[in-house]
A and B are shown apart, each in its own frame.
Chain A
Amino acid sequence: MNLHLGNVTQFSSKETALNENPVAAQIEFRHVTKMYARIAAVKGVSLTVGQGEFVTILGPSGSGKTTALMLLAGFVAPSNGDILISGKSVAAVPSYRRDQGIVFQNYALFPHLTVRRNLEFPLEMRGMKAPDRVKRVDRMLERVRLAEFGDRMPSQLSGGQQQRVALARALIADPPILLLDEPLGALDRNLREQMQGEIKSLHREFGKTTICVTHDQEEALTLSDRIVVMRAGQIEQTDTPEALYDRPTTRFVATFLGEANILEIRDFKVEADAAQPSGTVAVVRPERVCIAAPGAPKRADADLRQSVTGKVDDMIYAGPLRKYQVRVGNSMVIVREHVASGQQTFKPGEEVCLGWLRSDVRFVKS
């Protein structure tokens, strides 16, 4: 999927005045609050996005992530606080005086214009002359492998092609900022993986500061340099995908990003390397839990582990994975095991022994 078209996509700076802007910009949210009627959609959010960084805002619906994007795009103004782009306050700057590219959730391709005219639109609005526009559109169409589709109407394209047109249209004027609103939400699974690759390679190639808003954790994990998890208008945690998954700080982040077993104290005493701070719960990821028959020989690292016994409640087979639900005391522990040959499987009702490394237990704010 990674296409290297070399200098095909490099825009010469002589061609137009558009490229006076830096390639990428820094974005800063300072205590931004946005009220709708009396309800705060975004509450005191502070965030800095570095030049060329790919940051994903992740959250369930109603978490304020879309409002955050609207604020950034200039469609709504903050009720409080300030938004800075490369150090300049843009809180009162309307969208059409910002230099940005946006890929909308439903692509928002103009249905009455051909693909070519769609791509020309942002160039026209920036006052680029017709011959330059045509040249640049040709190159961009080639870059997104739609060279022969320029004269089609958007309705005559497939979902994936429309998505590529939307990306091309957002990038063609070479804006320092790229905003993506649920960019892959409308695509089916296979296409989505392809497009993730496409977005990644475009980001690598153009180096735009990119902010993506999504509720899809897989999309967030695969695309981003950093992920901002939002909940009820506030930032819950900001970190790199690995750190966020391995070291969540709150129960919300732990359960929203992937699956997590919350270990209830009342069922058994949780052993961990560190003492449990108050106001926290212990979590362990399902794939860190090992499942074995009660009489199985002890593992070499047994003294680093905690083991408990339980009864298999259910088993789900999902291709490369096997997922057990094991009842331990009153709670369910989920175990995710990669399917391997010669592996012992357990049926519902069987007694099993569960074990995990004490260092894999995390304490998160409940």
Chain B
Amino acid sequence: MEVLQKFGRMPAGLTIPAIAILLVVVGIPTIQLFLTSLNAPSFSLVNYQAFFEQRADVVILFRTVTMSVVVTAICVIIGYPTAYLIVAAPQRLRITLVVLVLIPWLTSGLVRTYAWTVILGDHGLINNLLIYLGVISSPLTLVYNRLGVYIGMVHIMLPMMILPLLSAMQGIDKSLMAAARSMGARPFAAFWRVFFPLSLPGVRSGALLVFVGCLGFYITPQALGGLSDAMLSGFIADQFQSTFDLAPIATSAYILLAIAMVVLSVFGFNLSDVQGRPAQISHRARLSQFSSLGQGSRYINEIVTHYRAKRWASHLYQVAHGGTWSKLVGVVFMLSVLVYLLCPGLIVIIMSFSGAAFLEFPPSSLSLRWYQSFLGDPSWTGALWTSVQLGIATTIASTIVGTLAAYGLSRTSSRLRSFLIMVILTPITIPVIVVGVAAYLGLVNLGLLGSKTGIVLAHSIGAIASVVVIVSATLANFDRTLEQAAQSMRAGPLRTFTRVTLPLIRPGIIGGAVFAFMHSFDEVVVTSLVSAFAVTTLPLKLLENIKQQIDPTIAAVGSLLTLMPLLWLVALYFVWRRSRLNASHMLTEPAT
């Protein structure tokens, strides 16, 4: 008890509300699930045996892992050059490109998945175009098979790969590449020997995020895949609808969780630390010296030595040519990636203005009829209203709790801090379907299943994690001596916080709040499990309609869901810019 009191007085005590919510909603239920999967109190591995004896289950498990690995690999292959090109671009262009990559990440995954069905379908955009051009005579099967799933999942996951890569690559000191070139390394050698090894922490973080994301995200494979493309997460969600027996569900969830945990612990848990610290790098470098890979590359290196020596002598002080081709290839590659990322959203927006009675692209006439039908249908507006209410409630709760936690964490010793951050970020680092199952059980415990309060709690655990990430980033740049200065002027801790700290970290808090709202407004996996058909949010209603493939009202809703985050982004931009302008204004203002 005494320990607990002491903890409460420490700065880390500010994380108590966040951790309490986390424990009640998913923490304790996760333990319950584990016990259920082990058939407690009799404790046996019957459920696991049953799972692995079912051939179909094992096939699904194997498929889940393979598909996640393939998607991760494709994301690395596409994402790495994309991030590299963005980092290499001049500053203005770079910011634009980052925003363009961010936009799809912020807009509803559900809507973009829906857009792919329109683009890839038998009478979809691509088939129509190819038939029109006479390339093919009958439509290609692009969707409801593995290809469609990969196209859709990579599309969803790619920004999550690119963002950590960007962060890692931007941290690489440019003079290192200059140094390598000055020592005679040709551009490729400089890249391969210096840039690439230093960017590996970004590859690691991105690949982990994508892999774990793939394990838990079932909407896209379900919408774009056939029966033989079902993944374990979808299987869990289906079991949920059909049975009340928790044991097999808990078992599947734990198997999924175990895969995620094994992968995370092999490749490193700490997803928040994208910029690999020097110490870590050195550790890794040491390891790679002993690894067979290091040996192999050194062996190859020695073989090319002779060739290098010859080339060095013959090329010394020779003028270099070209570079135009590689530039052209870069531009084409970047444009293709942007088209791939942005097209689905754009198509939904354009299609929503169609005047026809069925979905078509390009629209033959323009009208607002589907917006009217959306606004005139109480079931849609009701869902919208519900989503807005849930979003606002989640935002308020998670912003307060998350900011307190981030503030507490910023003045906690680093070891305790990294542990607590790991705990708080668990909801966004483990497969989302597992979070959903656990939250279901947690809300059953609380008697809140199918209630709005319950959904707000379930949404909050993810939203708190986003708030903590964003506010912590702001606090990391916050000058602690300002607080000491305030305290030296006899401001108490509370006064210091409200008068000095809070105004300075406000942009971070607003950013966190916006992300919390977007998280809640878009959430569909957890919501579908904990709503128990009693509460219908906009994404749930959308999901239901996509499954039934009916009227183009979906396009209008999708277009709204796509445009709204953009509005948020613009609003955020202005908040941040104003605060930065203020700051620079204060600095340039002469002291009077």
Interface presence of B53 (CB below 8 A): no
CB of B182, distance to nearest CB on chain A (Å): 4
B-chain residues with CB within 8 Å of residue A17 when the two chains form the complex: 309, 313
Contacting chain B: which of A40-48, A98-106, A274-282? A98-106
Residue pair B183, A75 in contact (C-beta under 8 Å): no
Interface presence of B305 (CB below 8 A): yes
CB of B194, distance to nearest CB on chain A (Å): 6
A153→B280 CA distance, assembly (Å): 11
Residue pair B179, A102 in contact (C-beta under 8 Å): yes
B-chain residues with CB within 8 Å of residue A228 when the two chains form the complex: none
CB-CB nearest in chain A for B307 = A127
Contact check: which of B190, B302, B306, B317 meets A97 at CB < 8 Å?
B317
Contact check: which of B175, B180, B316 meets A99 at CB < 8 Å?
B316
A106→B282 CA distance, assembly (Å): 19
Q: How large is the interface on B (under 10, 10 to 19, 20 to 34, 35 or more residues)?
A: 35 or more
A17→B193 CA distance, assembly (Å): 24
Interface presence of B490 (CB below 8 A): no
Contact check: which of A85, A95, A102, A155 meets B282 at CB < 8 Å?
A155
A155→B189 CA distance, assembly (Å): 23
Interface string of A93-115 (1 = CB under 8 A from B): 11111111110111010111110
Residue pair B198, A112 in contact (C-beta under 8 Å): yes
Contact check: which of A75, A93, A100, A122 meets B320 at CB < 8 Å?
A93
Interface presence of A352 (CB below 8 A): no
B-chain residues with CB within 8 Å of residue A153 when the two chains form the complex: 278, 281-282, 285
A101→B183 CA distance, assembly (Å): 7
Interface presence of A27 (CB below 8 A): no
Residue pair A93, B317 in contact (C-beta under 8 Å): yes
Q: Which of B194, B198, B279, B312 has the most CB of A within 10 A?
A: B312
CB of B170, distance to nearest CB on chain A (Å): 15
Interface presence of B495 (CB below 8 A): no
B-chain residues with CB within 8 Å of residue A75 when the two chains form the complex: 178, 181-182
Known contacts A125-B183, A173-B183, A173-B184; is-contact A108 B305 (Cβ 8 Å): no
Residue pair A125, B318 in contact (C-beta under 8 Å): no
CB-CB nearest in chain A for B308 = A127
B-chain residues with CB within 8 Å of residue A173 when the two chains form the complex: 183-184
Residue pair B175, A104 in contact (C-beta under 8 Å): yes
B-chain residues with CB within 8 Å of residue A105 when the two chains form the complex: 175
Interface presence of A126 (CB below 8 A): yes
Residue pair A127, B285 in contact (C-beta under 8 Å): no
Interface presence of B423 (CB below 8 A): no
CB of B242, distance to nearest CB on chain A (Å): 52
CB-CB nearest in chain A for B284 = A112
Interface presence of B137 (CB below 8 A): no
Interface string of B429-448 (1 = CB under 8 A from A): 00000000000000000000
A-chain residues with CB within 8 Å of residue B180 when the two chains form the complex: 110, 121
B-chain residues with CB within 8 Å of residue A94 when the two chains form the complex: 181, 320
CB of A320, distance to nearest CB on chain B (Å): 35
Residue pair A156, B308 in contact (C-beta under 8 Å): no
Contact check: which of B182, B198, B305 meets A73 at CB < 8 Å?
B182
Residue pair A98, B282 in contact (C-beta under 8 Å): no
B-chain residues with CB within 8 Å of residue A106 when the two chains form the complex: 173, 175
Interface set, chain A 265-320, CB cutoff 8 A to B: none
Interface set, chain B 2-27, CB cutoff 8 A to A: none
Interface set, chain A 147-161, CB cutoff 8 A to B: 153, 155-156
Interface string of B446-475 (1 = CB under 8 A from A): 000000000000000000000000000000
Interface presence of B301 (CB below 8 A): yes
Q: Which of B190, B279, B317 has the most CB of A within 10 A?
A: B317
Interface presence of A186 (CB below 8 A): no
CB of A66, distance to nearest CB on chain B (Å): 12
Residue pair B184, A126 in contact (C-beta under 8 Å): yes
B-chain residues with CB within 8 Å of residue A246 when the two chains form the complex: none
CB of A101, distance to nearest CB on chain B (Å): 8
Residue pair A127, B312 in contact (C-beta under 8 Å): yes
Residue pair B193, A95 in contact (C-beta under 8 Å): no
A-chain residues with CB within 8 Å of residue B173 when the two chains form the complex: 106, 108
Interface presence of A193 (CB below 8 A): no
Residue pair A113, B285 in contact (C-beta under 8 Å): yes
Interface presence of A128 (CB below 8 A): yes
Known contacts A94-B320, A97-B318; is-contact A122 B181 (Cβ 8 Å): no
B-chain residues with CB within 8 Å of residue A145 when the two chains form the complex: none
Known contacts A108-B175, A125-B189; is-contact A96 B317 (Cβ 8 Å): no
Residue pair A112, B281 in contact (C-beta under 8 Å): yes
Interface set, chain A 11-53, CB cutoff 8 A to B: 17, 20
CB-CB nearest in chain A for B175 = A108
Residue pair A129, B305 in contact (C-beta under 8 Å): yes
Interface presence of A218 (CB below 8 A): no
A96-B183, A125-B184 known, 19 other contacts, Cβ within 8 Å: A20-B313, A73-B178, A99-B316, A101-B182, A101-B183, A102-B179, A104-B175, A108-B178, A112-B194, A112-B285, A125-B189, A125-B308, A126-B308, A126-B312, A127-B307, A130-B305, A153-B278, A155-B282, A173-B184
3 pairs of A and B residues whose beta carbons are closest in the complex: A127-B309, A127-B308, A125-B184
Q: Which residues of B contact A (CB under 8 A)?
A: 173, 175-176, 178-187, 189-190, 193-194, 197-198, 278-279, 281-282, 284-285, 301-302, 305-313, 315-320
Q: Which residues of A contact B (CB under 8 A)?
A: 17, 20, 73-75, 85, 88, 90, 92-102, 104-106, 108, 110-114, 121-122, 124-130, 153, 155-156, 169, 173, 179
A-B contact pairs, 9 of them (CB 8 A): A97-B315, A97-B320, A110-B180, A110-B194, A121-B193, A125-B308, A127-B308, A127-B310, A127-B312
